[in-house]
Amino acid sequence: MSAFIGIDLGTTFSSVATIDETGRPQIIPNDKGENLTPSCVVEEKGDKGTMRIGEFARRQWCNAPETAAARFKRDMGTSKKHTINGKEYTPTQLSAFVLKKLVQDAEKELGSIGEAVVTVPANFANEAREATMAAAKEAGLNVSYIINEPTAAALYYAFKSGEELGGVYAVYDLGGGTFDVSIIEINGHDVDVLASQGVVKLGGLDFDEIVHKLVREKYKDQTGNELEKGDFTLNDAEEEKRHLSEQKKVSVECAREIVDIKRAEFEEAISSLVTQTKMACEGAVKEAGIDFSDIKGVFLAGGSTRIPLVTETVKNVFKQEPIKTVNVDEVVSLGAVIYAAYKGDRTKLSPVQKQAIDKIEVTEQTSMYYGTIALGEDLERSKMKEMNSIIIQKGEKIPCSKTEPYYTVGDGQEGVHCRVTEARGAETDVRFAKIIWEGELKLPPDRPAGQEIKITFGFDVNQMMHCSFVDVATKRKTDIDISMTSSKDHADKIDPFLVE
């Protein structure tokens, strides 16, 4: 029987989980017996092209960064490269190395792997999701789905809770690299995501740098000298940061000098970053159309929620004590494997596993309005003007697909200016709609106005958006997988189309 696995591909640490015979999700430790594997890659000595992943690579990255790669999740879906011993690697390739390592560890424990689910931050753009799927493929994984990290975390908490949960909950996920907050409706084992917000680059790594800076500054104040690089590394800073979650003060020994850092100083230094998470929580609650008082519980995920100021902030924002477990940095992969079993072939489950999984239901919905720009009647001035015409409503259940007809405006029109817009509200005013893609659909000459252009927008199960603009008469079309950073390289000369 091939097993299901769930993988949390983290910025700093990754983990893999499976479902045991009793139907419970369990972390599979790596070959060092650790539940978490650092997402760091180094080339094996003397063996060019063979990669070593984990704690050794993490240390190597700190001591000789040119020989190792880390933090590449932050660059997923971009063209940024990382170099190891002078050779360039894409973030996708590096992620594939990490995934491969996790799969090897899982295979040792489970034998053959069946379906796998990999998690991504809720605010990952399309191209970062695509890059994650590509990495999984490169690692030889049969990844059927990617799922948002906070959804996975909520799924785990809902599953773990002995009692049936019911109502609106929040998931506050602050890990090593990213921050996400999601507002989720849970009924028993049904998990329905109402809204998600986040900050793509905010997490433990930033806090490490802050500790590092505090130590360097104090060292200079005390000695008048700059601290040498090797005397206090970012990994050392990370360790001290962890201690500061337990202790009110740490005494750091560096270059024969003792530097004291108080928790209060650290918290003061990170307060503006923590405030950003608070604002995202307020935004998510507003977006979900609820009040803070409607939230029945707040689940914590991510290692950085162990920082007392963070827990305190969550408590103040939501006006309640958050719900946590000791393994806050494992809840994402534990939830991911529950999702893998839920989505996968359930005949592979034992009767007990099946019984547990059968109760689950997960739905995600769109968090924005998506549309196009078309000519419509300005009722006030009774003339035509460009308007944002919405095709996919906010709150539409994912997966979804919508098709709408539009018409050319001019006789002999040789092209249409295709645009995809995104808006927070149901805006017809183009000024409030952000254009996330634009391009041209070329049309044959000599046709009268009123030719139908069919526009289809959709989101697939992995929350990737696909759009197409089709000239109905000739079936010519532009197909696009929307990427949030795609360039707006098309001219404005082409005529728009008409809203029905």
Shortest approach of ligand ATP to residue 358 CB, angstroms?
29
Candidates 240-248, 269-277, 439-447, 450-458; binding stretch for ligand ATP (CB under 6 A):
240-248
Residues in 360-419 that interact with ligand ATP by CB under 6 A: none
Candidates 4-12, 82-90, 192-200, 490-498; binding stretch for Mg ion (CB under 5 A):
4-12
Shortest approach of Mg ion to residue 384 CB, angstroms?
49
Which one of ligand ATP, Mg ion, none is in contact with 203 (Cβ closer than 5 to 8 A by kind)? ligand ATP
Report if residue 241 touches ligand ATP, rule: CB under 6 A: yes
Which one of ligand ATP, Mg ion, none is in contact with 307 (Cβ closer than 5 to 8 A by kind)? ligand ATP
DSSP 202-215: -SHHHHHHHHHHHH
Interface characters, 423-462, with ligand ATP (x: CB under 6 A): ----------------------------------------
In 366-433, beta strands by DSSP E? 369-378, 383-392, 397-398, 400-408, 415-423
Residue 116 and residue 139 in contact, taking contact as beta carbons nearer than 8 Å:
no
Candidates 219-227, 298-306, 333-341, 479-487; binding stretch for ligand ATP (CB under 6 A):
298-306
Report if residue 245 touches ligand ATP, rule: CB under 6 A: yes
Candidates 137-145, 176-184, 224-232, 261-269; binding stretch for ligand ATP (CB under 6 A):
176-184
Shortest approach of ligand ATP to residue 177 CB, angstroms?
4
Among 25, 54, 150, 204, binds ligand ATP (CB under 6 A): 204
Which one of ligand ATP, Mg ion, none is in contact with 204 (Cβ closer than 5 to 8 A by kind)? ligand ATP
399 prior amide bond cis, ω within 30 = yes
The number of CA neighbours under 13 Å toward the Cβ of 414 is 3
List b or e across 146-170, with b for residues whose CB sees 16 or more CB atoms inside 10 angstroms. bbbbbbbbbbbbbbeeeeebeebbb
Residue 447 and residue 412 in contact, taking contact as beta carbons nearer than 8 Å:
yes
Residues in 56-85 that interact with ligand ATP by CB under 6 A: 73
Pair type for strands 452-459 and 400-408: antiparallel
- Whole-number Å distance between alpha carbons of 130 and 175: 21
Which one of ligand ATP, Mg ion, none is in contact with 172 (Cβ closer than 5 to 8 A by kind)? none
Position of minimal CB gap to ligand ATP: 204
- Whole-number Å distance between alpha carbons of 266 and 309: 10
- Whole-number Å distance between alpha carbons of 491 and 500: 24
In 90-175, beta strands by DSSP E? 113-120, 143-148, 165-174
Residues in 128-157 that interact with ligand ATP by CB under 6 A: 149
Q: Between residues 150 and 496, which has the closer beta carbon with respect to ligand ATP? A: 150
Residue 95 and residue 73 in contact, taking contact as beta carbons nearer than 8 Å:
yes
Residue 95 and residue 11 in contact, taking contact as beta carbons nearer than 8 Å:
no
Interface characters, 167-196, with Mg ion (x: CB under 5 A): --------x---------------------
Residue 19 and residue 45 in contact, taking contact as beta carbons nearer than 8 Å:
no
Q: Between residues 277 and 413, which has the closer beta carbon with respect to ligand ATP? A: 277
Interface characters, 5-24, with Mg ion (x: CB under 5 A): -----x--------------
Residue 26 and residue 342 in contact, taking contact as beta carbons nearer than 8 Å:
no
Phi/psi of residue 424, nearest 5 degrees: -75, -30
Residues in 323-352 that interact with ligand ATP by CB under 6 A: 329
Q: Give, rounded to a whole angstrom, the gap between the first and last alpha carbons of the chain.
A: 54
Report if residue 178 touches ligand ATP, rule: CB under 6 A: yes
Which residues of the shown chain bind ligand ATP in the complex (CB under 6 A)?
Answer: 8, 10-13, 73, 149, 175-178, 203-205, 238, 241-242, 245, 302-304, 306-307, 329
Which residues of the shown chain bind Mg ion in the complex (CB under 5 A)?
Answer: 10, 175
